[in-house]
Amino acid sequence: MSFTVVTPNYNMGRYLTETIESVLRNLRPGDEYYIIDGGSQDDSVAIMRAHEKRLTGWISEPDEGYAHAISKGLARGNGDLQCWVNSGDLILDGTLDFVRSYFSRSDAEFIFGDDHYIDENSRVIFRSHGGIRSLKNMMLFGGWTPLQDACFWRRSLYEKVGGIDPAYQYAADFELFLKFAMQNKGEYVPIAFSAFRKHEGQKSQSYVAQYEEEKKMAAYKHAQQCGFVGVRYLPLKIGYAVWSRLRARIFQRFWNSHAESGAPVSTLKLHSTVRT
């Protein structure tokens, strides 16, 4: 099974090399890797040119945001499986081999796992936990979302739901994964696949209010389509929102989330996060 991987980038040259190399180490013959740059003014273009012999393709031109960039990249690909890796984030060695093996022996169409949060110096802050009982309900009513960098899906599912919606400037990942969940797709795999970098100027951190507003809009739109409006929607929203926050606190307090804290990301191995 072949992969199409896309990296959207805009003025993230500081971290782009590390992202590119993490993906290249995972590729196999037949896989595709596209970098879609939004017209960066830093050294991003020079970095892409330095790697272009090993890339399927790259472009640097103004676009309409990260969702538009991802849409353009995935539209170019023919891989059976898809994912994107934001510039600054990483996938751990062995991730794509594990994922393609999982899909080859399963009828799963969308899987999500765990990741590590890393700092600007590529050291682990803590490990996340993505396991939930009902992806659809947690997204629809609790506003919870899978960890984007630890998500992988079949191209057929992506095309079935109409792909990522570039109209969303902040929460396009949430809206795409919600569309997957509305198809009753989504399997949690207890593996830490990737590393999500926290850094200054991060869109998800700098525009929290806008991100939350778009999430609410997307969730309510899909809830209405299911007939959950008014008094049917509000109690579920309150209940799942409370559980979502409580779940995060329980994990941080009782799960071994700081086991790799301080470790260089280069030392991390693909491993199960199930407690034994």
* Locus of tokens 């191995």: 269
Amino acid at 47: I
Query: Domains in the chain, ordered, with CATH?
Result: 1-88 (3.90.550.10), 90-276 (no CATH)
130 pLDDT band, cuts 50/70/90, is: confident
Least confident among 19-33, 42-56, 127-141, 249-263: 249-263
On the question of pLDDT at 233 being above 60, the answer is yes
Q: Which residues on neighbouring strands pair with residue 8, listed in sequence order?
A: 36
* Locus of tokens 């080859």: 104
Mean pLDDT of 33-62: 97
Q: Are 26 and 101 in contact (CB under 8 A)?
A: no
Cα(106)–Cα(88) distance, rounded to whole angstroms? 31
Cα(79)–Cα(189) distance, rounded to whole angstroms? 21
On the question of pLDDT at 27 being above 70, the answer is yes
Tokens linked to 230: 């008014």
SS (H, E, C) 9-44: ECCCHHHHHHHHHHHHCCCCCCCEEEEEECCCCCCH
pLDDT of residue 276: 39
CA nearest to 110, candidates 180, 167, 206 = 180
76 by DSSP, 3-state: which?
helix
Cα(239)–Cα(257) distance, rounded to whole angstroms? 25
In whole numbers, what is the pLDDT of the chain averaged over residues?
A: 89
Q: What share of the chain is helix, strand, coil (3-state, %, to 5)?
A: 45, 20, 35
On the question of pLDDT at 275 being above 70, the answer is no
Length of the chain: 276
Higher pLDDT, 145 or 130: 145
155-204 pLDDT per residue, tens: 999 999 999 999 999 999 999 999 999 998 899 999 999 999 987 765 55
pLDDT of residue 193: 96
Cα(124)–Cα(259) distance, rounded to whole angstroms? 9
The alpha helices in the chain, defined as continuous H runs, are 13-24, 44-51, 66-76, 95-104, 135-140, 155-160, 172-182, 203-206, 208-225, 234-254
